Structures are given as C-alpha cells and as structure tokens.
Copies of this chain bind each other. A is one copy, B any other.
C-alpha cells in the first residue's frame, strides 16, 4: 500500500496492493468520524470507497453513475452531499483544476478538520499525489506574512508528467 512517507517518489506504486489502500482509508475514516461524533453512514462510506477506486481524481458524475449502477435511481444531490461531508471531514479533497475528487491519504493529521492539500497531477497516467513540503509551506507562510494576507484556503495543484511517464 501507499504510505505517508513516500514523498520522495510518490508516483512509484505500480501494481501495489490497492485493496489495502482502500481498507486503510475506510478504517481510518471510521475511526476519525467515531472520534468526532460524526456519522459515516453506509452511503457516505460507499462514496468514499468509490472515490478510492484508484489514485486518480474521480468526477462527481462518475460516482453518480457507479451508484446508479448498483442502486437504481440516484440523483446528483445524493452524491454532492456525501462528497461535501467527506471534504468537510478532510477525508476527500476536491481538485479545482480538474473539477474532481480524490481520497486523502493523510486524514486527521491536523486536529479535527480538513487540512491544506497540495497535489502533483500527472497528465499522462492521471495519478494525483498529495504532497507535503515544508519549504513550500514556509514560502507560502512568508508570502502571506509579507503581504498581510490571512490565508483561509489553499489551492495548489501542479500538473505535468510524473517520472514514470516522461520516458
């Protein structure tokens, strides 16, 4: 599975045990919600599982189609409400540059809410990896301090080619 220490080669996980990624994500979500007194209902849990189908961002309507294939009539608000809950809990992130969603690999590391997430997105294989970089965080903090700007939300998404896809 993918671990949170894989920053040096975040894309290097071909043929990994993805079932383990999913299980870790679901178990972690259960624990986080239990601790917070939030309700990870069957629907929300299933949507989270569908978001975790892989390591590529998934569109809301992709999830909708998957839900419809297993439950019959499902309407967009059903999906958007579940995604909103999952984003609020920091279990899922929205990638604004793609209008799509991806599971968070390090949820709950920032107290009780969501955290700023920074992404590398491969335009070839579609993989998106959440990265944490102290220098980047520092540069952002200093920029904010220098300009007197109070950051509430960060959208940092770097698109390009991962190492494996450059050959």
Using CB atoms and an 8 Å cutoff, list the residues of chain A in contact with chain B: 7-11, 96-97, 120, 122-123, 131, 133, 135-136, 138-140, 142-144, 146-163, 166
Contact = CB atoms under 8 A, between A and B. Distances in A.
Given A136-B136, A139-B135, A139-B136, A159 B148 contact: no
Contacts of A148: 9, 162-163, 166
Contacts of A162: 148-149
Given A96-B96, A151-B158, 20 more contacts: A7-B147, A8-B146, A9-B148, A11-B147, A96-B157, A120-B143, A120-B147, A120-B149, A131-B147, A135-B138, A135-B143, A136-B136, A136-B143, A144-B158, A149-B161, A150-B160, A151-B159, A153-B158, A155-B156, A155-B158
Task: Please give the count of copies of this chain that the complex contains.
Answer: 2
Q: Is the interface of A mostly helix, strand, loop or mixed?
A: mixed
B155 A157 contact: yes
Most B CB within 10 A of own CB, among A11, A135, A158 = A158
Contacts of A96: 96-97, 155, 157
6 contacts: A96-B96, A120-B143, A120-B144, A149-B162, A152-B159, A154-B158
